Chain A
Amino acid sequence: MADGIRRRDLFKVIAAGGATTAAIAACADKPEKLIPYLLPPENIEFVPGMPLDYATTCMECPANCGMVVKTREARAIKAEGNPDHPINQGALCMRGQASVQTHYNPARLQTSMQRDGETWKQIPWDAAETAFANAIKAVGNKSQIVYMTGNASGTRGGFLDKWLSAMGASPKLVLDPLGQHNIKAANQLTFRRAEIPQYRIDQATLLVNFGAEFLETWLNPVENNRLYTTMHAYDDATKRKGRFVQVGPHVALTGANADHWIKAKPGSEPLIVLALAREVLSRTHGRAVGADRDRLTSYLEPYTLERAATESGAEAEALRKLDDDFAKAEPGLALAGGNLVATTEGTQFQIAVNLLNYVAGNVGRTVLFGASRQIDLSSSHAEVEAVVKRMQAGEVKLLIVDGANPLYHLPASSQIAGALDKVPTIVSLSSAWDETTSKAHLVLPGATFLERWGDAFPQRGVYSLVQPVMATYYPDVKAAEDTLLSVSAKLGDATFKATPTYRDYLRQAWQQVQKEVGASGDFEAFWRTSLQKGGVFRTVSFSSSVRLNPDALSGKPGVAKIAGEGLVLLPTVSLRHRDGRGASNPWLQEICDPVSQVVWGSWADINPVTAKKMGIAHGDMLRVKSPMGEVELPAYLHYGVHEDAIAIPMGEGHTHSGRNADGYGINVLDLLPNAADPQSGEFAYLTTRVQVERTGKPGYLVQLDHSPRQLGRGIIQTQTVEQARAGENTEEHDPEEMKHGHPYFDFYPLREDQTPGYHHTYRWGMTIDTERCTGCSACVAACYAENNLAIVGKTRVGLGREMPWLTIERFIEGEGDSFKALMQPMLCQQCGNAGCEPVCPVYATYHNQEGLNAQIYNRCVGTRYCSNNCPYKVRRFNWFNYEWEAPLNMQLNPDVTVRSKGVMEKCTFCVQRIARARRTANGEGRDLRDGEVTPACVQTCPTKALTFGNLADPNSAVSKKAMRGRNEQDKRVRQYEVFPSLKQHPAITYLRKVTFEPINQEA
């Protein structure tokens, strides 16, 4: 029988059988329903199947970047930066990208509720408002009403003040644990300007940073990233490349970008700063300080470089070099901020930094006053603590929380839990469950910022509007401002009679804005244009002549005294969760921290030297004990932490914020004593030492990097400034390949060689400038948002089943204090001769004529050969049908198929965007223009590290950067492709990182 049947016939028989069964299966499909609109939407621009964009403002942090939210069928699906907005200029950070998931948070409050003993009782909205009004009425002494909010930007702050004064309540409290009050207080004392200045990082040639995590969360990370690369990135031989030196006890993402890390004892920074100031003063002969010279000289007399070196443990040689560079810098800039310099003498330290900038002549050049930045609207810890004391004394009868979560954000040592128990009525206007809301008595769920009206004035000349991009997702949800207005109407208060809704109030306030910006004409027209553009943006120049107030020079700052025994606890700020408000957002949990590569949970950075001494291995479960409490978390061996310290990021360890946050990691605030800086009232983060011991249990630490070293493979390549300036191409070849004495030859001819014109009109490609990439991971979040990437959870990531199409790869080079953490985005390289394509048995992946490595989900049968054959490891396999917990599924992009079990998936340069743009161009009878299509990752990059475009067009931006043409190959300097020896011919060209000192890749 076997002789009688041929192979082809066999396949025919099998195919026929398969086809018949498939047809029957298709008949059994349930017919779908076709549900029409009742009324066609009034907005003529609204077309189902087509996106509609709204300009608004991001409210995820006080930076208030401009935002454009894409909606489909009246659902917000993607947030992008507003290109017209002066602060972020089209980019967003990862938290801004993830704001749509905050909006569709499964832990959102859905209806008004009243506490019924231990459980909740759902009540009608009107009844809830009445109950709220009655609660206000019931308070005899109205000053015993306290209002805590998480956001007071723009008009909202004044509105709350007005409402509270109409009620006779205490002034509002604005909770933000990262308030930077030390800077504000120090500027008041030194320059008589109580504000956070504008730091012109882009103007500096030398940036010295003490603790400020300015590329992660500090002040305005998107703007900082942009300014930083302007200053620091090597573009071409003519442009100066600035230097960035990090001083302090810990290296996170910001520190990892530094050219040099000067390790210093925790809390010893004031000595270094003042020593630098002393040296700069003596070198420049006080040109910048004029008459204050003698006084400053005598004040700085005791702060010698030698003393700073001895007491901080920093290398004297490194300090001397830094000092030399700082004196010569034209101009330099010293930045300071963040938790690691927030000691009980944090203000004194900031005064020292002001002095250094003043002495070096940076004030007025890189430190500008007069911007009136509104990043600092929060109340200080001292103010909050005073209210907590009142609560404990039973002097608060009604507490209203609105986006504020004191139970989580205040340290346990402030006795906040006990204080909340003493408040008879707590009303929550928050939009999602959190620790404080779980203690409330009455809940009137608030709207997210994608559902409400509002505005923000992040700095002078920038008036940014917030408008609802969709109706409230749950019907029983109302913007907190509108709830307040209804309640005041219910109480018969006449203050807001003219403005029954917050939109009316906002419009009234914007009539004032119209006058301020001097826009003439009809208000309606002004209002409409402002909404369309996302606000009004004016360029204003700052007059910033400030003089030093000599009285500020009264303190004698030294090394901060840190009580207790053991290692110094460094509570760092999380890039992903900031202070913890993004923890219930599954994207932010599953996207790894770029430096540690950890997902889902906390970890403790500990120096390998210390770890060895204490017998701790990477991943061991540690017990960290302070006088205030104890926590257990896994150890992470990290060169970038001082031997005498242990660093734990904030933001995890929630208990009532929904299942994506609860139970992951620990809250480091549980370990901190309740202490504040007496001058600014800012919470003192660096105040305690902790006892660290092994528990003997293994810690559950899940990391995305499976190998921290690149082992000479040349994945992230670097070259020195001299080499780049000299035009030297430092191509690193695979050592294995070079055993033959020459690079490998191509086994297969390139498609273009085989078939001229194969890449017809378009050949999509990308360049990634590793010199500009700071590792901020905004691109990763954008990719998750655009492409419906599944969240698989901690267990499955631990099994290697993570799903990101784009990851920030991090490789460590060197050891000890001089280690380098190199980062670069890794995504499908869309290879010209891809390894994945020939091994696919069903043609589900192939090279198309536009140079894309296509992945057709409905063809894929899941053999996973392609993934096994991909040297870049960028293909992801669906081991399950992953679900989107409702209502997170509402965020899914209808333009992208949701992949099901057994299907391979990967990046295709956002082919859905290419397709849409091309259909538009086609309708206009033209080819796509350069820059018309941007994949989500390219769109959101704050530093413009990614360039996407058509490699077939020699004049496109990407072609000019990639220099792939035959006659351009010899002129390449920084360009390289990853793994050239494998001859896959990627469409992505990387540009080498340029460093001052060579980084040797260890094989």
Chain B
Amino acid sequence: MIRNAQHRTWIGLLAAAAVAVALLALATPVTAQKLTNEDVAKISAGPQPIKFSHKVHAGDNNIDCQYCHIYARRSYVSGAPPVEICAGCHKYVGTQLDEVKKVMGYWERKEPIPWVKIHDVPDFVRYPHYKHINAKNEVYPNGIKCQTCHGPIETMNVVHKYYSDFGTMGWCLKCHLTIPGTLEFKRAVASATNPHITKDSIDPNGGYRRPLLTDCLTCHY
């Protein structure tokens, strides 16, 4: 009986502490849920050194993303465009514009442009751009578009995070577990009907080529 009473006191104390923490947290005015996309963009990034418009480049002028982001199809990183690529066109194009003059100023001073990073994943995540760009399956017969994760960048004058939870683990897995055609979806279906997952029930034609995306070690090492 004595032991029981002690047990209750502990739970009571813990609960009280937890409620206090929760109240404190709720009292803070800004919470993640209430933020709009613009708010997130304002908070997570300072002003860009150049008022670069993706709308003008990728939207109005229809320039392919990978014309500038040259490493996306070959590497883990997409690659911020080398300043030479900007200068390659802007030696001739739009030279009268103030922002272009700024870009050419960097080029002439031989200085890299210190862009502010908008889309960032934590350092303990390995994200291969090239595996996504080159992925082909029933849902994406021509590979995954940049917009799938980055949103309609070609409509943005100032780039911001289109998905406010961009780069969080739940956000990645949302696609990987719900889109029919992904291996994980097949596996989830298979394991729901058959607890004994076998090689054949997932991929009758081949082996276990792709990493299991619900395995932490796939991205975190």
Whether B93 sits at the interface, judged by CB under 8 Å, is no
Kindly list chain A residues whose C-beta atoms are within 8 Å of the C-beta of B32: 20, 23-24, 26-27
Q: Is the CB of B12 within 8 A of A2?
A: yes
A751-778: CB near B (< 8 Å → 1, else 0) gives 0000111001110000000000000000
Q: Mark B44-75, 1 if CB is under 8 A from A, else 0.
A: 11100000000000000000000000110011
Q: Known: A2-B9, A49-B77, A895-B126. Contact between A31 and B46, CB under 8 A?
A: yes
Are B111 and A5 in contact (CB-based, < 8 A)?
A: no
In whole angstroms, what is the CA distance A7 to B216 when docked?
28
* Residues of chain A lying within 8 A (CB to CB) of residue B220: 856-859, 897
Decide if A36 touches B11 in the complex (CB within 8 Å). no
Encoded as 1 (CB less than 8 Å from any B CB) or 0, chain A from 44 to 60 comes to: 00011110000000000
B22 contacts A by Cβ under 8 Å: yes
Cα(A923)–Cα(B221), bound, Å: 21
Q: Indicate whether B81 reaches chain A with its CB closer than 8 angstroms.
A: yes
Output the nearest chain B residue to A898 by Cβ-Cβ distance. Answer: B123
Give chain B residues whose Cβ lies under 8 Å from the Cβ of A742.
none
Taking a contact as CB atoms under 8 Å apart, the answer to whether B83 and A36 are in contact is yes
The bracket for how many chain B residues form the interface is 35 or more
Contacting pair B221 A897 (CB below 8 A): yes
Please provide the chain A residues from 1 to 31 with a CB less than 8 Å away from any CB of chain B in the complex. 1-3, 5, 7, 10, 13-14, 16-18, 20-21, 23-24, 26-27, 29, 31
Q: Are B221 and A17 in contact (CB under 8 A)?
A: no
Chain B residues positioned under 8 Å from A895 (CB to CB)? 126, 221
Q: Min CB distance, A629 to chain B, in Å? A: 51
Stretch of A252-260, A604-612, A910-918 with 4 or more beta carbons under 8 angstroms from chain B: A910-918
In the complex, what's the smallest C-beta–C-beta distance from B70 to chain A, in angstroms?
7
Q: How far apart are B133's CB and chain A's nearest CB, in angstroms?
A: 11
Pairwise interchain contact B22-A35, C-beta atoms closer than 8 A: no
Q: Could you say which of A31, A37, A760, A850 contacts B199, with CB atoms under 8 Å apart? A: A760
Residue A921 CB within 8 A of the other chain: yes
CB pair B25–A927 under 8 Å, yes or no, is no
Q: Which of the segments B112-120, B139-147, B150-158, B171-179 contacts the partner chain?
A: B112-120
Whether A17 contacts B112 in the complex (CB less than 8 A), given A31-B46, A40-B85, A760-B197, comes out as no
Nearest chain B CB to A647 CB, angstrom units? 43
**Contact of A963 with B by CB under 8 A:** no
Task: Report if A757-B18 is in contact (Cβ < 8 Å); known contacts: A849-B212, A922-B209.
Answer: no
Q: Cβ of A925: which chain B residues have Cβ within 8 Å of it? A: 206, 209
Which A residues touch B19, using CB under 8 A? 13
- A854 to B217 alpha-carbon distance, docked (Å): 6
Interface positions, chain A 887-925, Cβ under 8 Å from B, are 895-897, 908, 911-912, 915, 918-919, 921-923, 925
Q: Is B31 an interface residue (CB 8 A)?
A: yes
Contacting residues, chain A, for B208 (C-beta < 8 A): 760-762, 927
In Å, the complex CA distance between A739 and B144 comes to 62
Chain A, residues 578-598, CB within 8 Å of chain B (1/0): the string is 000000000000000000000
- State A908–B218 Cα separation when bound (angstroms): 12
A47 to B22, Cβ gap below 8 A?
Answer: no
> A516: CB under 8 A from chain B?
no
Q: Across the interface, do B217 and A35 meet the contact criterion of CB distance under 8 Å?
A: no
Residues of B within 8 A of A896 (CB): 221
Is A33 an interface residue, CB under 8 A from the partner? Answer: yes
**Which of chain B's residues 103-151 have a Cβ closer than 8 Å to chain A?**
107, 110-118, 120, 122-124, 126, 128, 131, 134
Check A39 for interface membership: any CB of B closer than 8 A. yes
Asked if B221 and A13 make an inter-chain contact with CB atoms under 8 angstroms apart, the answer reads no
Query: What is the chain A residue whose CB lies nearest that of B45?
Result: A31
Which of A20, A32, A926 contacts B31, CB < 8 Å? A20
Enumerate B4-41 residues with CB–CB distance to A below 8 Å.
Answer: 8-9, 11-12, 14-16, 18-19, 21-22, 24-26, 28, 30-32
Report the nearest B residue to A14, measured CB to CB: B18
Is A857 a contact of B134 with CB atoms below 8 Å?
no
Contact A858 B124 (CB under 8 A): yes
With A10-B15, A20-B31 known as contacts, the answer to whether A921 contacts B209 (CB < 8 A) is yes
Within 8 Å of chain A (Cβ to Cβ): is B204?
no
Give chain B residues whose Cβ lies under 8 Å from the Cβ of A795.
none
Per the CB 8 Å criterion, the residue count for chain A at the interface is 63
Assess A848 versus B122: contact at CB under 8 Å? Given A17-B22, A37-B112, A49-B75.
no
- Which B residues are in CB contact (< 8 Å) with A848? 212, 215-217
Complexed CA–CA distance, A749 and B201 (Å): 24
- Complex interface: chain A residues within 8 A of B126 (CB): 895, 912, 915
Q: Is B95 an interface residue (CB 8 A)?
A: no
Interface-centre pick from B15, B74, B79, B118 (highest chain A CB count, 10 A): B15
Residues of chain B contacted by A20 (CB below 8 angstroms): 22, 25-26, 28, 31-32
A38 located at the interface, meaning its Cβ lies under 8 Å from any Cβ of chain B in the complex: yes
User: A588 to chain B: closest CB distance in Å?
Assistant: 26
How many angstroms from the CA of A76 to the CA of B94 in the assembled complex?
41
Complexed CA–CA distance, A922 and B203 (Å): 13
| B79 x A33 contact (CB < 8 A) | no
CA distance A34 to B159 in the complex (A): 14
Q: Does B210 contact A (CB under 8 A)?
A: yes
List residues of chain B with CB within 8 A of the CB of A50. 74-76
Residues of B within 8 A of A14 (CB): 18, 21-22
Give Cα distance in the complex from A416 to B30, angstroms.
72
| Whole-angstrom CA separation of A47 from B130 in the bound complex | 12
Q: A856-B216, A912-B221, A915-B126 are in contact. Are A39 and B25 (CB under 8 A)?
A: no
- Whether B22 lies near A16 (C-beta < 8 A) is yes
Return the contact of A37 from the options B21, B25, B83, B131 (Cβ within 8 A): B83
**Contacting residue for A757 out of B117, B197, B216, CB 8 A:** B197
Question: Which residue of chain B is the closest to A755 with respect to CB atoms?
Answer: B196
Complex CA gap A50/B72 in Å reads 12
Q: Is the CB of A33 within 8 A of B75?
A: no
The reply on B82 being an interface residue by CB < 8 A is: yes
Q: Mark B181-221, 1 if CB is under 8 A from A, else 0.
A: 00000000000000111110000001111111001111011
B22 proximity list for chain A (CB < 8 A): 13-14, 16-17, 20
Q: How far is the CA of A923 from the CA of B133 in the complex (A)?
A: 12
A915 x B75 contact (CB < 8 A): no
Alpha-carbon distance between A35 and B128 when the two chains are bound, in angstroms: 19
B120 (CB) vs chain A CBs: closest residue: A32
- Specify which chain A residues have a CB less than 8 angstroms from the CB of B77 in the assembled complex: 48-49
B216 in contact with A36 (CB, 8 Å): no
Task: Please tell me if A834 contacts chain B, counting CB pairs below 8 Å.
Answer: no
CA distance A919 to B75 in the complex (A): 11
Q: Which of B43, B74, B76, B114 has the most CB of A within 10 A?
A: B76
> Which B residues lie within 8 Å of A922 (CB)?
131, 209-210
Residues in B with CB closer than 8 Å to A10 are: 11, 14-15, 18
**Chain B contacts for A27, CB-based, 8 A:** 30, 32, 43-44
A846 to B217, CA, bound (A): 10
Q: Which of B122, B209, B218 has the most CB of A within 10 A?
A: B209
Extra contacts besides A17-B24, A755-B196 (19): CB < 8 Å: A2-B8, A2-B15, A10-B15, A17-B22, A20-B26, A27-B44, A31-B117, A31-B120, A37-B112, A38-B84, A40-B82, A49-B76, A760-B199, A761-B207, A854-B217, A896-B221, A897-B123, A897-B124, A911-B221
Q: Can you identify 19 A-B contacts, CB atoms within 8 angstroms?
A: A7-B11, A10-B14, A14-B22, A16-B25, A20-B28, A33-B116, A36-B79, A36-B80, A36-B83, A37-B84, A38-B82, A760-B197, A760-B199, A850-B215, A859-B220, A897-B220, A918-B209, A919-B128, A927-B206
6 shortest A-B CB distances, which residue pairs? Answer: A761-B208, A36-B80, A23-B32, A49-B75, A2-B8, A49-B76
Interface residues of B (CB under 8 A from A): 8-9, 11-12, 14-16, 18-19, 21-22, 24-26, 28, 30-32, 43-46, 70-71, 74-77, 79-85, 107, 110-118, 120, 122-124, 126, 128, 131, 134, 195-199, 206-212, 215-218, 220-221
Residues of A within 8 A of B (CB): 1-3, 5, 7, 10, 13-14, 16-18, 20-21, 23-24, 26-27, 29, 31-40, 47-50, 755-757, 760-762, 846, 848-850, 852, 854, 856-859, 895-897, 908, 911-912, 915, 918-919, 921-923, 925-927
